[in-house]
A and B are shown apart, each in its own frame.
Chain A
């Protein structure tokens, strides 16, 4: 029984095409049918500005010839067009082979022959497209700004059903159907003549139940309060070396940026050197202590309901959790089959492609700091003078993933173990090692946040979760 209503291309066609690439000289060949049926809508202060159905369907091919890697894709699904595209992948691989010093090989991995799908409690298809986005917009509109605050909300709603069939010449055959919902909003708030903005994302894999349960209204209301607090009461932050309590939203972003990205093996090898850059893990091998014993960072594609959910990656390798930092020590890298072959390890299934026009590259899925056993009160109780950064807006990190900066949006002074007045835009600049080494306590509350992570050339945005608990960082510069 097919997983989706109307797969345009079935596995037998893909098998025929991978065989065809083999006959053209490919040492390795791969064909991926990748269809994303989507619907998006944009609302401004509750009014629908425009609705946008979309259908992105096609086949991606990869081939290895004489150690060169070639990629092609097409949206034309007749056999002549497919063979033409398959031939172009082989030709591209041959062209690349003339400029290769280290031959590309596909390393080992637990290749699957499997079919799976995510269950939708309320199937997206059971509710008309516009009703889904209207519901999200109505929930958003029910959030009230504080009195005296002038506010506008722009809300982008998107859902999609991603259907993939992957076949490789060395035995992978995996079919999957994963529905997802993704929402972001931007608040623009004016109070006492001053304006502030807040951008936030929400999402998960599953059906319409996500829209109903994810808490769009409570998130917006909480953000209204944050912006009002900043505009009405926040004072300049203290400067110098202080204890800092970071909220789960900030911790999630930090582990994504300074533990996840630097653990991508292709980045460590320099494959992204001109784009997203390199990694401190080029010089710091597995086993290097980068943080305190309290720090464990995991990337796990298999978390049910997550935005980065999958059970097999886009090379057909079975997914599993990956420990990137374990008790403060650098642990495994994120691998696809190409990087796994260079390191002499098995792929841990980190290959993801945005759509049929994209090559699979090493990506995160759902990255988080493992929780500890502290309550929030216990984290702050012995802080004499510090800052609690609950939410952020601006952040960035250098291209070695070493020096980073986070600017608090909602933040508070901590005095003698208690939260005190709100502070405005505290800037937290730190290196990865200084940060992870200075964490001396980790909360027991684990929360996840949503985002679209960018990488690759052409740039690919893939949905991810990132998260963590509250943590306490001792003596860092604000």
Chain B
């Protein structure tokens, strides 16, 4: 497989290097399968086998082009030249770095087998679907092979696998949702997610229902699904591209200063082999490394490729993105508390286990709101006493991360619609606004 991808990539690189001075070509093959569940049955089984190419071309006069091609035809390569010839210089141009990354292979053979022989796996049994009852969600397996070649001498290959999904379980008018992500075919992890989602739905359904008004500085226990979403937004706002384009409350001058509670450490962790976006090289061929974005409350890194680094006067953090730098995988460091202890830290709090639809009123200060869904508990003196409706969490991200009161000691590997990257997340207790 890798040889075949190198052949395609080398051919494209040869063409691309005739267009500009420097070029990078990434060719990726994905074998990917997804079962979608809806209300206790399969709604569709989807299966992909795709080869895609990404081509970067630049010239020392500053012209930069990044193309995405699923159809690698001579006509397309000819079109790239026509586009390139008309370009104006980009202020973000800089020379490609010398490649330092290493090739790797981290494929779980059981995932590869699941993809080719799904009939050998009884998902009813493996996921305990009958026990789950009214369950919706997705189960996904993927094997990806990629090669990266460049005019600066990179010839790198990587192979990954992933097994991930999420489930939402309905019980008597209540619901619970949870997710998982792994680089292994980890059915016990998936079953644990099913079990957590079921417990949340059942606990919410047995408690009385109540409503709550709006409060501006309420203790809110963010479940890992919620903390993963909101701190994921912080991580994306730490991309050099977000900083340059103004999609962020983070600015370069904040580096080294305290922007969050001392309890918060948020890392980009491309070397964590437990997760599907593990990689030893970024899209410029640089060797990746784990790094704090925020460490004990201090902003330690803005995530850069060489181009955004140049514009910000910083160094690349090996987070290319040929188009834009981005985090790979996220880890939030655990704290000292059990969930029960967190619930007992304040007399009264709201415990939100899932959310969606996070939107910003003002990117420049991170003013946002997000809607709770599934189980939301009113907690008094350490115990859930009622189940709430779909409240909103409101505030400023820049303030929310300063108002962390406590962090849980158990972390969960999560990924779903609202947690874009594989993320290892604990419970996080904060003070922020809610509206009922």
Measured CB to CB, the closest approach of chain B to A56, in angstroms, equals: 5
Please tell me if the beta carbons of B44 and A70 are within 8 angstroms of each other in the complex. yes
Q: What residues of chain B lie closer than 8 Å to A269, measured between beta carbons?
A: 38-39
Chain B residue nearest in CB terms to A427: B435
Partner of B45, one of A44, A49, A71: A71
Chain A residue nearest in CB terms to B32: A458
Is B367 part of the contact surface with A, judged by Cβ < 8 Å? yes
Q: Which of the candidate stretches B82-90, B202-210, B281-289, B342-350 sits at the interface with the other chain? A: B82-90
Q: What residues of chain A lie closer than 8 Å to B42, measured between beta carbons?
A: 68-69, 96-100
Docked Cα-Cα span, A459 to B363, in Å, equals 24
Interface of chain A residues 82 through 117 with chain B (CB within 8 A): 84-85, 88-89, 91-93, 95-102
Partner of B356, one of A99, A186, A399: A399
Is A58 part of the contact surface with B, judged by Cβ < 8 Å? yes
Please tell me if the beta carbons of A54 and B45 are within 8 angstroms of each other in the complex. no
Interface of chain A residues 39 through 79 with chain B (CB within 8 A): 39, 44, 47-58, 68-77
What string of 1s and 0s marks CB contacts (under 8 Å) between B342-380 and chain A? 000000000000001111111111011111010000000
Docked Cα-Cα span, A425 to B396, in Å, equals 14
Docked Cα-Cα span, A197 to B359, in Å, equals 13
Partner of B51, one of A54, A75, A400, A409: A75
What's the count of A-B pairs with C-beta under 8 Å? Answer: 240
Is A148 part of the contact surface with B, judged by Cβ < 8 Å? no
Please tell me if the beta carbons of B75 and A6 are within 8 angstroms of each other in the complex. yes
Q: What residues of chain A lie closer than 8 Å to B137, measured between beta carbons?
A: 274
Partner of B68, one of A49, A54, A88, A98: A54
Please tell me if the beta carbons of A274 and B38 are within 8 angstroms of each other in the complex. yes
Q: Which of the candidate stretches B95-103, B227-235, B241-249, B258-266 sits at the interface with the other chain? A: B241-249
Measured CB to CB, the closest approach of chain A to B293, in angstroms, equals: 21
Q: What residues of chain A lie closer than 8 Å to B48, measured between beta carbons?
A: 72-74, 357
Please tell me if the beta carbons of A271 and B38 are within 8 angstroms of each other in the complex. yes
Partner of B44, one of A51, A71, A75, A393: A71
Partner of B46, one of A72, A77, A197: A72
Please tell me if the beta carbons of A393 and B360 are within 8 angstroms of each other in the complex. yes
Is B290 part of the contact surface with A, judged by Cβ < 8 Å? no
Docked Cα-Cα span, A52 to B136, in Å, equals 37
Please tell me if the beta carbons of B360 and A44 are within 8 angstroms of each other in the complex. no
Chain B residue nearest in CB terms to A134: B88
A-B contacts, 10 listed (Cβ < 8 Å): A52-B66, A52-B67, A53-B76, A54-B68, A71-B47, A75-B70, A91-B118, A128-B83, A130-B88, A359-B44
Apart from A58-B70, A270-B38, list 5 A-B contacts with CB within 8 A.
A75-B50, A98-B124, A99-B41, A99-B42, A273-B39
Which residues from chain B sit less than 8 Å from chain A, CB to CB? 33-52, 64-71, 73, 75-76, 79-80, 82-83, 86-92, 118-119, 123-124, 129, 136-138, 166-168, 170, 177, 244-247, 323, 356-365, 367-371, 373, 389-390, 392, 417, 435
Which residues from chain A sit less than 8 Å from chain B, CB to CB? 6, 8, 35, 39, 44, 47-58, 68-77, 84-85, 88-89, 91-93, 95-102, 128-131, 134, 152, 154, 186, 188, 195-197, 269-275, 277, 356-357, 359, 393-400, 403, 405, 407, 409, 425, 427, 429, 457-459
What are the nearest 7 A-B pairs in CB distance? A188-B246, A195-B364, A394-B361, A99-B42, A396-B357, A274-B136, A273-B136
